[in-house]
Chains A and B, each alone.
Chain A
């Protein structure tokens, strides 16, 4: 699904990612854990194509294509979805307008017909209900004035609507109480399947009790310093990041 080889990236001339190697097969869920500032969000932005993140070396191949050569919207239409650590507030643009544009952009790309207003409403209501997202939120402006938990839920709703092949969840658990965390995890787990892969970025092991990963990687100082099975997350919990050894 995704093969990252020797990926290096800089922000403002400062190297943040210092050679990342990571391969995610279809159907797999990988977790990336690491302390604050280790480069987790930078990795997610580079994969999503944000401006200002210069790739200085290495490659990322997504379903046989050069991911890094694609425009951000093309990556999204091809099935890459980033759940933002800090979802962006867009006052004045209603959530439902935004979601309809997004869903139809992706559907057009996939050769599926656009949904009309009624069809879209039916779809979005069903998905929203499953995630405990109220109809009123759809009328509100995108993320504007949402609580932290509402923003994260809205990200998962977007993911459920866009049905990505590769979902990157950047600290989708942060700021959630345990009930909200379960709802979000259920939403993510509902999307798991043999054709879908996930990269779950988290600071805490807690989320991985609910979204059980196939592989766990520890990111530190812009490098993956350890990789292992799901038990690595528990080891991290016990020993802390300090016990993982720093990047050389």
Chain B
């Protein structure tokens, strides 16, 4: 199956004007915050990178539904909220469920929080350096990595992240290191006043290294905030990275996460997402399979109710022959919620012997909920095995009857069926403890 790419048209003057209008309050807020923080303290390359990010954001503004990639997700409410960047670090406490997890790096409003972290048990070969520390020390090594996989150019939110770049993490797993016990990253949002934060994670696995990262995006109820995170990941030859994310931001939050991975020959990157939080979220994953034998898996579940919107957008690029990808995305939609999935699989010319599988399913629990599922295949090679499927429906009456015919009441039966629907995603979590915890969190959401 081949679907041609939409030609990129230059934005119309009207669109540009609208973007600039949207961007203006944010930009002003940033400039004030930037001046307040004493930008002079930053090394020149970083200041330049931020300025470039700011310029790119000025040109782009927030994405609008006029852009194909944002057709179903309108950020108007976010643009209107004028969420100024977080200033000085704010004291916070860890959610109790996360406090026992080690090794653990905690970030509060995007800033590394040493007091809430416990990195004593970090295995040999694994280093985690707060980005603020790394940029002050190690400019030359970082300047080429920041934005390499997620450039600010042409991407308003990535530009915003670059413009506000302050902290995050540089996480490195040395070649040959086997660190399959989970390393926990806690990305905590806390907003006594409306604010935004823009952490950046730079992750690299050396050749043949293995690691499991469990990321907990969480937030305390309070004022609205924007978590605008960028994560750039290099997986070297033969390395294996499993990255599990639970997006559990505060119910009023805007959560944007951009994750991009370059996966080398014989390496693998597997990602599992459970999204239960935020008012509006966009989880965007871009994976490039760069060498033969590279593989990736994306398994994502979004659970939504009320007026929430969750957008899961993925792009898998089979840039080399003999690469494989498998992807399942499931959205459980209650209330007036909207679930969006856009899944692009691109196979480069000459990239033969590709296997790609994609399935997206929306489960509507209410008549007012909406699912927009958009698979997109762009295949420019002929010897490939790519399949995709997409369905939206309600709880299957035959399954419901089968459970009821065994004495199970309809409420419990529905809950079991929805848990089962999500279970197909969570069973992909490689770590038993993490899988059990996510299953419990999904069950709690369903019971709530």
The interface residues of chain B lying within 8 Å CB-to-CB of A82 are 405
Instruction: Assess the A98–B409 pair: CB atoms within 8 A.
Output: no
Report the minimum CB–CB distance from A166 to chain B (whole Å): 13
Q: Check: B150 CB closer than 8 A to any chain A CB.
A: no
Q: Give per-residue flags for B313-340: 1 if the beta carbon is below 8 A from chain A beta carbons, else 0.
A: 0000000000000000000000000000
Identity of the chain B residue whose Cβ is nearest the Cβ of A82 in the assembled complex: B405
Q: How far is the CA of A76 from the CA of B408 in the complex (A)?
A: 9
Looking at chain B, what size class is its interface with the partner chain?
20 to 34
Can you identify 18 A-B contacts, CB atoms within 8 angstroms? Answer: A50-B405, A73-B404, A73-B406, A73-B413, A75-B405, A76-B404, A76-B407, A77-B407, A88-B399, A90-B403, A90-B417, A90-B420, A93-B417, A97-B416, A98-B403, A101-B408, A102-B408, A105-B409
Q: Which residue in B403, B404, B407, B420 is a CB contact (below 8 Å) of A106?
A: B407
The interface residues of chain B lying within 8 Å CB-to-CB of A91 are 420, 424
Residues facing B in A98-147 (CB within 8 A) are 98, 101-102, 105-106, 109, 141-142
Instruction: Assess the A72–B419 pair: CB atoms within 8 A.
Output: no
Q: How far is the CA of A102 from the CA of B401 in the complex (A)?
A: 13
Q: Which residue in A50, A97, A141 is a CB contact (below 8 Å) of B401?
A: A50
The interface residues of chain A lying within 8 Å CB-to-CB of B422 are 92
Q: Check: B410 CB closer than 8 A to any chain A CB.
A: yes
Residues in chain A within 8 A of chain B (CB atoms): 48-51, 71-73, 75-77, 82, 84, 87-88, 90-93, 97-98, 101-102, 105-106, 109, 141-142, 158, 162
Instruction: Assess the A76–B405 pair: CB atoms within 8 A.
Output: yes
Instruction: Assess the B407–A73 pair: CB atoms within 8 A.
Output: yes
Q: Which residue in A51, A75, A93 is a CB contact (below 8 Å) of B397?
A: A51
The interface residues of chain B lying within 8 Å CB-to-CB of A106 are 407
Q: Is the interface of B mostly helix, strand, loop or mixed?
A: helix
Extra pairs beyond A72-B405, A73-B408, A84-B405 (8, CB < 8 Å): A82-B405, A90-B420, A93-B416, A98-B416, A101-B412, A105-B407, A105-B412, A162-B407
The interface residues of chain B lying within 8 Å CB-to-CB of A90 are 399, 402-403, 416-417, 420
**With A92-B419, A93-B416, A98-B416 as contacts: A76 and B402 at CB distance below 8 Å:** no
Q: Check: B444 CB closer than 8 A to any chain A CB.
A: no
Q: Check: B380 CB closer than 8 A to any chain A CB.
A: no
Report the minimum CB–CB distance from B71 to chain A (whole Å): 30
Instruction: Assess the B406–A76 pair: CB atoms within 8 A.
Output: yes
Identity of the chain B residue whose Cβ is nearest the Cβ of A72 in the assembled complex: B404
Instruction: Assess the A92–B423 pair: CB atoms within 8 A.
Output: yes
Q: Which 10 A-B pairs have the closest CB atoms?
A: A92-B420, A92-B423, A93-B420, A76-B407, A102-B406, A88-B402, A105-B407, A72-B404, A73-B404, A106-B407
